[in-house]
Amino acid sequence: MESIQVALAENAYEISIAPGNLDRLGAKCRDLKLGNKVMVVSNPTVFALYGQRTISALQQADFEVSYCELPDGERYKTLDSIAHIYDLALEHGLERSSTLVALGGGVIGDMTGFAAATWLRGIAVVQVPTTLLAMVDSSIGGKTGVNHPHGKNLIGAFHQPRLVLTDPDVLVTLPAREFRAGMAEAIKYAIIGDPELFDLLERADGLQQNQIDPELLATILTRSARAKAEVVSKDEHELTGLRATLNYGHTIGHAIENVTEYTINHGEAVALGMSAAGQIAVKLQLWTQQEAQRQDRVIHKADLAIELPPAIDLEQIVKTLKSDKKVKAGKGVFILPSKIGSTRTIAYEVLNPTEDLVSDALIKQVLTAMLPIASS
Amino acid sequence: MESIQVALAENAYEISIAPGNLDRLGAKCRDLKLGNKVMVVSNPTVFALYGQRTISALQQADFEVSYCELPDGERYKTLDSIAHIYDLALEHGLERSSTLVALGGGVIGDMTGFAAATWLRGIAVVQVPTTLLAMVDSSIGGKTGVNHPHGKNLIGAFHQPRLVLTDPDVLVTLPAREFRAGMAEAIKYAIIGDPELFDLLERADGLQQNQIDPELLATILTRSARAKAEVVSKDEHELTGLRATLNYGHTIGHAIENVTEYTINHGEAVALGMSAAGQIAVKLQLWTQQEAQRQDRVIHKADLAIELPPAIDLEQIVKTLKSDKKVKAGKGVFILPSKIGSTRTIAYEVLNPTEDLVSDALIKQVLTAMLPIASS
């Protein structure tokens, strides 16, 4: 059993990682002296698998448990879903001492966290991530929110959970594609700050869901959570730029998600974004081609693509990158590797100083090289 | 010019009170190094009176200013209005460095604060209160939010403003009824902690809008803001119970607002609630009848009623009081005066120990005495 502390001045909390942890949820919440009423928020898919165990664990610790079901999928990550949580919070009499438990992936975690941040000006939330992506990333750090019809995650709040409870056993039911997506973030942690983790990933016999050694998986969960916890504890509200290092692979990744209308999921896009960022770093002579290729081999080993879909519109990707508000304000940055385990933050201006075309050309050159051979 | 500091570890800010202050808004925001984009949120009534001056003041300090209009009235204090603020925030490209300026009374202040708390996980908000109630109370302290269809202020967040800028000159256009409502909160501060302020109110020639001495008004604004600032700085998130002392007059007051379907406004209800709480304190031998009567005379002098409307349903008031979640959980409290300037916090259990009827009887006895003679 691993216990990682997110060290924050006011809102410190534990990330607990252990097989079978789900059954310890009630006891853990009791230890935290959480109030008596708990509402579990989940979606039908996850609830069918783990809902009853979650509720039983809470009831066995004498909590009064209610349930709020939200539809499954990113397109329901809206204020309307939050309003539904509020309605049930009222119906079940949730008070300032009550707790919401987010049982699910990133979408459920973000929405439950936001509802907790804003119900009665803030109640407790416990994150119980059920996807690899949520376990290594989104459940930790207190970013909560929903999408605006015209932009992702524009509406939200920082609201730290009281506990993150991870049970790796639940990953057996995760679709393989979602497993891969989570692995992309784990690879990210390795590249930006954990060369030992990178070695483990590189030496592993396999990184896919049906191949991975459970011990390596446990190590990935622990080291990723620790890396995230460390950054969050130094930059809780994303003020110093330190937390921006977590965006490695995300700048181009977000643009790819956007341009493909999210048919490429977040993790897949981050994998492509890391591969592209790696090549940009190589072109700028920040990173060796050899290490960039080692990165790409690990990405490939996780069954993640390092090739763009043939029909993708590169102009549109560059346009999306340039429409970013930070970029427009001259504050855009790329996180680029300088070696495995270290990054540098390179201002977009550096890539894009006075001659706009040069930088677009660089990005496009790198992306073009990532197209399948027939279509490049 | 008065400058009061709200001393908070992380979010300290100034309450600036001065005639003509509205014209200094831009310079003050510039001093705070706020980002370039500012969106003013107001309603048609207030904007017609003070919108242009507000925008000019900001533009003169080189801010890029946009405007979001919300309909006037408590019934629009909804998530839908917040969604409208988000839409305009997106349209005008508000970034994490941008600022919302709340120009209006409590409803505008609460909604603008909540939108600022949740746009891009939190941007700056500046409160420019235009009602006496907002100046002495709601603009200070960071309570933000909207109503749920079935309950007031159930949805919200703590989000401290970067500046509260008060210009007493704008009160000349305030409807007399709203002026009285604000005066009720000022009287509250005097009773709970400021006997000198009480003396000033008691000795004043008049407390109504068309009578009040501008110097006394300035003193009321300053001392009320200081009292609120002090409590908030010791109990930012309403955790220790200290902030609960600000609820003097509000327990019964809220029930009266609720039962009269808000035809009696907040300040009027608080005045009635203070008068009732005073009599409860007298019956419990915590307070002298003489001081309770001095309180009532000051309330009356502000042209606020100390008599309940004849048709009011007292059973319903008691029922509403008892339906309060805190009361149900055995954690309800009454703030009761022990002398002018001091209160005691009396648990509802004390009023309502084992015999339910005794306490209901006490509250009803006090409220019955407040009915007009013909209907009691």
CA–CA distances in Å: residue B131 to residues A341, B22, B310: 56, 14, 29
Task: Locate the chain A residue with the closest alpha carbon to B329.
Answer: A95
Catalytically annotated residue among A185, A236, A268, A291: A185
Nearest to B132 by CA among B51, B190, B238, B208: B208
CB contact B246 to A (< 8 Å): no
Domain match, A189 and A168 both: no
Domain match, A69 and A188 both: no
Nearest to A209 by CA among A167, A189, A181: A181
Pull the structure tokens for residue B304: 């606020």
Q: How far is B34 from chain A (nearest CA, A)?
A: 15
> What are the residue ranges of helices labelled H in A162-306?
176-193, 195-203, 214-234, 250-259, 266-283, 289-301
Out of A153, A173, A193, a domain closes at: A173
Residue A36 sits in a domain of what CATH number?
3.40.50.1970
Inter-chain contact B119–A154, Cβ cutoff 8 Å? Answer: yes
**Residue B309 backbone class (left: φ over 0; alpha: ψ -120 to 50; beta: rest):** beta
Q: What is the C-alpha to C-alpha distance for residues A170 and A150, in angstroms, rounded to an integer?
A: 33
Residue A327 makes CB contacts below 8 A (sequence gap 6+) with A321, A348
Structurally, how many domains does chain A consist of? Answer: 2
CB contact A80 to B (< 8 Å): no
Domain match, A13 and A162 both: yes
CB B261, CB B175: distance < 8 Å = no
Q: What is the C-alpha to C-alpha distance for residues B137 and B160, in angstroms, rounded to an integer?
A: 13
Domain match, A113 and A228 both: no
Inter-chain contact B143–A121, Cβ cutoff 8 Å? Answer: yes
Out of A173, A204, A226, a domain closes at: A173
Q: How many CA atoms lie within 13 A of A186 on its CB side?
A: 34
Q: What pLDDT digit, counting tens, does each position of A34-49 carry?
A: 999 999 999 999 999 9
Least confident of A278-287, A340-349, B55-64: A340-349
pLDDT value of residue B358: 39
CB contact A35 to B (< 8 Å): no
Give the residue with greater pLDDT, B38 vs A243.
Answer: B38
Residue B299 sits in a domain of what CATH number?
1.20.1090.10
Out of A317-331, A362-376, B96-110, B325-339, give the one with best mean pLDDT.
B96-110
Domain match, B244 and B354 both: yes
Task: Locate the chain A residue with the closest alpha carbon to B120.
Answer: A154
Domain match, A161 and A210 both: no
* CA angle at B112 for the pair A258 and B249, rounded to the nearest 5°: 140
Is 90 exceeded by the pLDDT of residue A351?
no
Domain match, A348 and A219 both: yes
CB contact A143 to B (< 8 Å): yes
pLDDT in tens, chain B (376 residues): 899 999 998 889 999 999 999 999 999 999 999 999 999 999 999 999 999 999 999 999 999 999 999 999 999 999 999 999 999 999 999 999 999 999 999 999 999 999 999 999 999 999 999 999 999 999 999 999 999 998 899 999 999 999 999 999 999 999 999 999 999 999 999 999 999 999 999 999 999 999 999 999 999 999 999 999 999 999 998 888 888 899 999 999 999 999 999 899 999 999 999 999 999 999 989 999 999 999 999 999 999 999 999 989 999 998 888 877 666 666 778 899 999 999 998 877 645 554 443 377 888 899 999 999 875 4
ipTM: 0.91
Q: Per residue, what are the HEC states of A39-50?
A: EEEECHHHHHHH
Domain match, B321 and B338 both: yes
Q: What is the C-alpha to C-alpha distance for residues A92 and B54, in angstroms, rounded to an integer?
A: 44
| Contact pairs from chain A to chain B, CB under 8 Å | 71
CB contact B241 to A (< 8 Å): no
pTM, two decimals, is 0.93
CB B321, CB B327: distance < 8 Å = yes
CB B148, CB B198: distance < 8 Å = no
Inter-chain contact A121–B148, Cβ cutoff 8 Å? Answer: no
* Average pLDDT rounded to a whole number, residues A251-267: 93
Inter-chain contact B157–A157, Cβ cutoff 8 Å? Answer: yes
Domain match, A105 and A219 both: no
pLDDT value of residue B325: 67
Task: Locate the chain A residue with the closest alpha carbon to B118.
Answer: A156
Q: What pLDDT digit, counting tens, does each position of A94-113 carry?
A: 999 999 999 999 999 999 99
Domain match, A142 and A290 both: no
DSSP secondary structure letters along A66-98: EEEE--SSGGG-SHHHHHHHHHHHHHTT--TT-
Catalytically annotated residue among A14, A250, A257, A265: A250
pLDDT value of residue B321: 87
pLDDT value of residue B351: 53
Domain match, B53 and B8 both: yes
CB contact A100 to B (< 8 Å): no
Q: What pLDDT digit, counting tens, does each position of A167-205 carry?
A: 999 999 999 999 999 999 999 999 999 999 999 999 999
Evaluate the CA torsion angle A97, A101, A106, A111 in order and state its sign. negative
Q: In terms of residue numbers, what domain contains A356?
A: 180-375
Out of B149, B173, B197, a domain closes at: B173
Task: Locate the chain B residue with the closest alpha carbon to A120.
Answer: B154
The confidence band for A354, taking pLDDT boundaries of 50, 70 and 90, is: very low
Domain match, A294 and A326 both: yes
Stated length of chain A? 376
The confidence band for A324, taking pLDDT boundaries of 50, 70 and 90, is: confident
